[in-house]
Amino acid sequence: MPFTVTMPKLSPTMQEGTITKWHKKVGDKVNAGDILVDIATDKATVEFNAIDDGFLRKILIQEGQSGIVNQPMGIFTELANDNIEGYQPEGTMPQVKEEKKPAATKEEAPKSNPTTTIPQAVFQPLPPLENYEFGFPTDEIPKRTPASPLAKKIAKEKGLDMTTVKGTGPGGRITSHDLNLAQPDLTVTFGRREKPTIVPGTFEEIPLSPMRKTISQRLQSAKNSIPHIYVHQEIDAEALFNAHEQLKNGNLKVSINDFIIRAVALALKEHPNCNSGFNAASQSLILFKTIDISVAVSVEGGLITPIIRHADYKNIGEISLEVKELAIRAKAGKLSPQEYQGGSFTISNMGMYGVSDFCAIINPPQAAILAVGAIEECPRVKNGQVIVGKKMHLVISADHRAIDGADAAKFLKTVQKYLENPALLLA
């Protein structure tokens, strides 16, 4: 008897998934609990186990292809020789949008082999590739001015570009005396480049992965619908840098970001109104009862935010170990949903890329996100003298529906207090 296995919903936000690998091939016996497929969701790549015993008879979504939730993935049978001819798979089939074609007029009869045309306003026809030299049409390259044989010889020996001077000889011919004002020939100095083989304007379109598609939809919605307010603060990072170096010299491997997570957790405890969110559907505030900090981690093809739960109850060492473990599992696509769903506040740190400062987009339904820049050297005045100091920029993006500018500023000043006095974070 045939039956259908459909695309499972592996996370609350999942709308479609991509099959990255089938662990069984057509004709194989499948036992309940066997790993059937690997599915790339909007958050991670997840192994999906078979629920029932059976034989895989037909694969409906091939490796590399995507399907919506509840779309048939494969046809199975209870027995190896069960007939599947005429069997209609169960589940939700994706809707194909049909483009409405305008009716043919008397002046324009329908063509037997229609071709796609590109509007002239978007793309203009390009000259043949052989008409290009160094990326520019050859008809736009100025013609070389005639020169005397001696001038040509001198220019070749000295590597001069004769097109950079005006000839004073008969008919505008360049003479040897004119070469005193000639500029060096760059094609001689740097070598002549080969002509490009790709026609200018060539491009390639790549479909979005489920993760990248979800990121684009969520961030566009957040930027369009959330009234962002940004508050900037420069931190004197000298003491923070020294504390980090002292721990490093003592073989205690913690990062600057671990200090920041600890400082943010303690600041949120003092300013609970910043540990909040906004429910757009019900137009109500969300007051989180626990401090759970989401940490933005860059992974292949996108971004994910594993969460440090009860961050205000953990010391820097505990935070450091947990962040390292979550980051490793995030990059491997092995996070479980409870490890990245939820969170009351997000930290996005680009300091490791040398970025001075940036403004991050809020991760709804949270009401705030903190963007962290790099520690940089800067001039400081100390005891009447200019010395080399260190600074770091923080920028908080807050949802103005839930957090006022004054509250965001007070929170940021508290974070500054902790980071400029890092001993408080070690207590």
Give per-residue pLDDT as tens, 185-217. 766 655 555 677 888 888 889 888 888 888 888
What confidence score (pLDDT) does residue 149 get? 79
**Residue ranges per structural domain of the chain:** 2-77, 133-189, 210-426
What confidence score (pLDDT) does residue 191 get? 57
For the beta carbon of residue 118, count every other beta carbon within 10 angstroms: 9
Which one is the CATH code of 210-426: 3.10.20.600, 3.10.105.10, 3.30.559.10, 3.30.2320.50? 3.30.559.10
Residue 104: which pLDDT band, with cuts at 50, 70 and 90? low
Instruction: Tell me how far apart the alpha carbons of residues 313 and 126 are, in angstroms, rounded to a whole number.
Output: 64
> What's the pLDDT tens digit per position in 153-185?
888 888 888 888 888 887 788 888 888 888 887
Average pLDDT of the residues in 101-124:
48
pTM of the shown model: 0.64
What confidence score (pLDDT) does residue 268 get? 98
Please indicate whether residue 404 or residue 51 has the higher confidence score (pLDDT): 404
Q: Which fold has domain 2-77?
A: OB fold (Dihydrolipoamide Acetyltransferase, E2P) (2.40.50)
400 is catalytic: yes
Instruction: Report domain 133-189's class.
Output: few secondary structures
Cis peptide before 379 (omega within 30 of 0): no
Instruction: Tell me how far apart the alpha carbons of residues 342 and 276 are, in angstroms, rounded to a whole number.
Output: 12
User: In percent, how much of the chain has pLDDT > 70?
Assistant: 86
Query: Residue 316: which of 426, 167, 196, 153 has the closest Cα?
Result: 426
Average pLDDT of the residues in 113-126:
46
As beta bridge partners, residue 58 has 75
- Tell the residue number behind the tokens 């963007």, with chain if given: 371
Average pLDDT of the residues in 106-112:
49
